[in-house]
Amino acid sequence: MTELLPGIFEIELTSDQGVTREIHIFLIQGKPGERSLMIDTGYRKQNCLKKMEEILEKLGISFDRLDVFLTHKHHDHTGLAAVYESRGARLFMNPEENRHPYDCLYYNHERGKDSGNSQYEVLRSVGVTPEGTPEVWEMFMEIRRRVESNRGWEYEVPEFHSLPVTGGQLFSYGDYCFEAVPLRGHTYGQMGLLDRKKKLLFSGDQIIDGIVPIVGTTYEGDHLLEAYFRSLDQLMHQYGDCLLIPAHGDPIRDVRRVAERIVFSYLDKADMIKRILDHSGRKMTVREVACTAYGMRGIPEDTDEFVKLKMVMSKTFSCLEYLLDEDFVIRTERNGTYYWQSAMI
Ligand SMILES: [Zn+2]
């Protein structure tokens, strides 16, 4: 644990699996008798929980005096949310993070929603079907069985209840007064925390130095990549003089350099995807385009490759929808599967 700024503690948690293997959790200590704030929870791992318990005790923060602000609903940020809730902590999250019952990337549990059928529909829409791609389909079904029988899956997000967060909502702890700011793109409802006076922005996974954050969705109409570009533009122009504190990697001072690199990378990828469709001259599914764009085998060989396939399909979908909005590609639908083709005649 290090004291990043007066009263703001940074804790690094690690996982031996997954794409991001470290995450920074931030604790802002309340004044005596007041509540304290934790930003994100970390992985659903025993070692992470133990470390956080020790640190909370050391700082004299009890769970019933703890608020947890969840920037977005990914496993590394919400893995322990259900545990903290059961201990009496109060959770806050933008309800838009729950707008889809099934996420191709992460496995969300959603009470009252039929995530089972949604999963079939989502997989079919990206071109993963029991008839066409039985091996890949079976990999998804195996994960589903593991989760349903409580055997665990690294990317599982156990169900929790949270209080709704909306843009502009205030969160005051210790000497800090934060305002919730929407950071759409990495996910649909991601939120950051901004202290305007102190020029400090906890930015979740919106911008990370040295990494291109995934902009992943498999739902039509999310227009996530377009929203991401708008958000990065806003970061550069409105918060360019702020210190950005991401959940992964080092704090960012030169927002413009990092944001421009990420935008360039996505435009480059979108251009490559456009050229794949231009040259193929046929209709392709998201899965086919993703495998071609990222040089992947059709059938993943191991868990790492399977996880990568899930990620690149989500990323590719976002790029394809962006190209569709810009009239570079055409989308058609047959039997629940989307087919994409070049708009060049
Ligand atoms: Zn993350």
CA distance 47 to 11: 13
CA of 250 to the centre of ligand 1 (A): 13
CA of 192 to the centre of ligand 1 (A): 13
The H-assigned helical ranges of the chain are 46-58, 75-78, 81-86, 115-125, 134-148, 224-238, 255-280, 286-293, 303-325
Between vectors from CA 58 to CA 55 and to CA 60, what angle results, nearest 5°? 110
pLDDT of residue 296: 93
CA of 281 to the centre of ligand 1 (A): 37
CA of 187 to the centre of ligand 1 (A): 11
Q: Which two tokens stand for residue 298?
A: 């059709």
Q: What are phi and psi of 39, to 5 degrees?
A: -105, 115
pLDDT of residue 217: 85
CA distance 72 to 246: 12
CA distance 104 to 333: 19
Residue 332 has a CB neighbour count (10 Å cut-off) of 10
Q: What secondary structure letter does DSSP report for 42?
A: -
pLDDT of residue 219: 87
Q: Which residue has the tokens 């939120």?
A: 191
Q: Which two tokens stand for residue 56?
A: 């909370």
Residue 256 has a CB neighbour count (10 Å cut-off) of 13
pLDDT of residue 109: 61
CA of 22 to the centre of ligand 1 (A): 9
CA of 164 to the centre of ligand 1 (A): 20
- Residues counted in the chain: 345
CA of 267 to the centre of ligand 1 (A): 22
Residue 243 has a CB neighbour count (10 Å cut-off) of 18
pLDDT of residue 158: 84
CA of 19 to the centre of ligand 1 (A): 9
Write the pLDDT tens digit of every residue in 222-238. 999 999 999 999 999 99
**Beta carbons of 37 and 25 less than 8 angstroms apart:** no
Q: How confident is the prediction along the chain (345 residues), in pLDDT tens digits per residue?
A: 999 999 999 999 998 766 668 999 999 999 999 999 999 999 999 999 999 999 999 999 999 999 999 999 998 999 999 999 999 999 999 999 988 877 776 666 655 555 568 888 999 999 999 999 999 999 999 888 888 888 877 788 888 999 999 999 999 999 999 999 999 999 999 999 999 999 999 999 999 999 999 998 888 889 999 999 999 999 999 999 999 999 999 999 999 999 999 999 999 999 999 999 999 999 999 999 999 999 998 899 998 899 899 999 999 999 999 999 999 999 999 999 999 999 986
CA distance 276 to 279: 5
Domains within the chain, CATH numbers bracketed = 2-98+158-256 (3.60.15.10), 109-155 (no CATH), 269-342 (1.10.10.10)
67 contacts: CB under 8 Å, gap ≥ 6: 35, 36, 37, 38, 89, 90, 91, 92, 171, 173
CA of 277 to the centre of ligand 1 (A): 31
**Beta carbons of 206 and 234 less than 8 angstroms apart:** no
pLDDT of residue 34: 96
CA of 76 to the centre of ligand 1 (A): 5
CA of 297 to the centre of ligand 1 (A): 26
Q: What are phi and psi of 298, to 5 degrees?
A: -65, -35
Q: Which two tokens stand for residue 206?
A: 């919106």
pLDDT of residue 154: 78
CA of 69 to the centre of ligand 1 (A): 14
pLDDT of residue 115: 59
Q: What secondary structure letter does DSSP report for 31?
A: P
Residue 308, CB-side half-sphere exposure with 13 Å CA sphere: 14
pLDDT of residue 216: 83
246: which strand partners?
A: 204
CA of 134 to the centre of ligand 1 (A): 31
| Termini Cα distance of the chain | 59
CA distance 258 to 264: 10
CA of 275 to the centre of ligand 1 (A): 30
Q: Which of 341, 97, 302 is nearest to 205 (CA)?
A: 97
CA of 183 to the centre of ligand 1 (A): 14
CA of 66 to the centre of ligand 1 (A): 21
Q: Which of 255, 236, 237 is nearest to 246 (CA)?
A: 255
CA of 92 to the centre of ligand 1 (A): 17
